[in-house]
């Protein structure tokens, strides 16, 4: 008991453990960087190798909702993920005003359907986004996104079933022959490459979160739209749209 600890004792064990943990940290962080980076780079298919909806502004651009807008109208780009609760909140607040702007042809509304909330088994954002792109072919994108947001599950991450997505199309008024076309488009996964390209492009465009609204290329200030206290204030958004000022 009174002799000093043997040389093989705890200091060496601890040094060994320390080295082991340092190694673990190195491997773990390195691995995380590699995995994360791969996830970042994977969804960047080469343009020309995938089908692009007619409404897309470019092979990796958003979907123009109203092609009949006047040429001089400012563009409102909306970056959204159908699984994102705040996208729904902003959608619910701004949708009537946006619809009004579009019927006056005084703004071009472009939807960038992001899928970054997909993870693991959850591929709901991608499935809904692909179905929405197919709905754009039927000229029903705006109605489809309304239906998809209305059907967003209360709990984030629950996702959408295929049956729900089918229901969104029906609610959006895709019926008869166009319903058959839509179904084929969805079943073929026709726009999977396009949706991946949109996600990759939005990262390159510096989108830092959803929803992001850009008016004529500039990030809109959303801080006053849903104030801490008081009702939603869509006017705080529309005041930033040049064409909406009278």
Partner 1 sequence: MSSQASVQERTKSGARSRFTWPEVVGLVARLVLGGALLVAGALKIGSPIVAARAVQAYQILPFEVAAYVGYALPVLEIIVGLLLVIGLFTRPMALVGLLLMVAFIIGIASAWARGLSIDCGCFGGGGTIGATETKYPQEIARDALFALCGLWLVVRPSSLFSLDRRLAGPTA
Q: Is there binding between residue 37 and partner 1 (CB under 8 A)?
A: yes
What is the distance between the alpha carbons of residues 147 and 16, in angstroms, rounded to a whole number? 59
In the complex, the smallest distance separating the C-beta of residue 9 from partner 1, rounded to whole angstroms, is: 7
What is the distance between the alpha carbons of residues 78 and 63, in angstroms, rounded to a whole number? 10
Q: Are strands 108-113 and 75-80 parallel, antiparallel or unpaired?
A: parallel
Cβ contacts of residue 45 below 8 Å, gap of 6+?
Answer: 193, 196, 197
Task: Choose the stretch contacting partner 1; rule: CB under 8 A; options: 7-15, 56-64, 144-152, 185-193.
Answer: 7-15
Q: Is there binding between residue 40 and partner 1 (CB under 8 A)?
A: yes
Q: Is there binding between residue 2 and partner 1 (CB under 8 A)?
A: yes
Q: Residues 222, 213: contact at Cβ < 8 Å? A: yes
Q: What angle do CA 32, 34, 35 make, to 5 degrees?
A: 65
- What are 93's two structure tokens? 């607040």
The dihedral built from the CA positions of residue 136, 140, 146 and 149, taken in this order, carries a sign that is: negative
Q: Is there binding between residue 210 and partner 1 (CB under 8 A)?
A: yes
In the complex, the smallest distance separating the C-beta of residue 79 from partner 1, rounded to whole angstroms, is: 10
Site string for partner 1, 85-124 (x = CB under 8 A): -x--xx-------------------------xx-xx----
Report in angstroms the alpha-carbon separations of 83 from 117, 152, 246. 7, 7, 35
Q: Residues 94, 225: contact at Cβ < 8 Å? A: yes
Task: Choose the stretch contacting partner 1; rule: CB under 8 A; options: 52-60, 144-152, 162-170, 219-227.
Answer: 219-227
In the complex, the smallest distance separating the C-beta of residue 3 from partner 1, rounded to whole angstroms, is: 10
Q: Is there binding between residue 18 and partner 1 (CB under 8 A)?
A: yes
Task: Choose the stretch contacting partner 1; rule: CB under 8 A; options: 24-32, 46-54, 66-74, 129-137.
Answer: 24-32
Counting every residue written for the chain, the total comes to 246
Q: Is there binding between residue 222 and partner 1 (CB under 8 A)?
A: yes
- What are 42's two structure tokens? 């994977």
Q: Is there binding between residue 227 and partner 1 (CB under 8 A)?
A: yes
Residues of this chain that interact with partner 1 (CB under 8 A) are 1-2, 4-5, 9-10, 13-14, 17-18, 21, 24-25, 28-29, 31-33, 35-37, 39-40, 86, 89-90, 116-117, 119-120, 206, 208-212, 222-229
């Amino acid at each position: 008991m009174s002799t000093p600890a043997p040389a093989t004792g705890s200091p060496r064990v601890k040094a060994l453990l320390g080295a082991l943990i340092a190694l673990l940290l190195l491997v773990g962080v390195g691995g995380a960087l590699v995995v994360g980076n791969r996830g970042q780079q994977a969804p960047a298919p080469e343009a020309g190798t995938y089908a692009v909806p007619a409404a897309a502004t470019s092979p990796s651009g958003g979907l123009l909702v109203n092609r009949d807008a006047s040429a001089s109208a400012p563009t409102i780009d909306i970056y959204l993920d159908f699984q994102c609760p705040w996208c729904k909140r902003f959608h619910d607040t701004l949708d009537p005003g946006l619809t009004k702007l579009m019927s006056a042809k005084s703004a071009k509304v472009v939807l960038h359907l992001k899928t970054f909330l997909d993870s693991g088994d959850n591929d709901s954002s991608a499935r809904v986004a692909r179905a929405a792109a197919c709905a754009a072919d039927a000229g029903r994108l705006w109605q489809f996104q309304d239906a998809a947001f209305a059907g967003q599950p209360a709990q984030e991450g629950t996702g959408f079933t295929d049956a729900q997505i089918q229901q969104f199309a029906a609610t959006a008024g895709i019926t008869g022959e166009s319903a058959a076309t839509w179904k084929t488009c969805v079943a073929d996964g026709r726009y999977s490459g396009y949706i991946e390209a949109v996600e990759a492009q939005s990262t390159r465009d510096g989108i830092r979160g959803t929803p992001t609204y850009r008016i004529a290329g500039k990030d809109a200030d959303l801080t006053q739209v849903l104030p801490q206290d008081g009702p939603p204030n869509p006017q705080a958004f529309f005041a930033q749209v040049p064409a909406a000022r009278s």
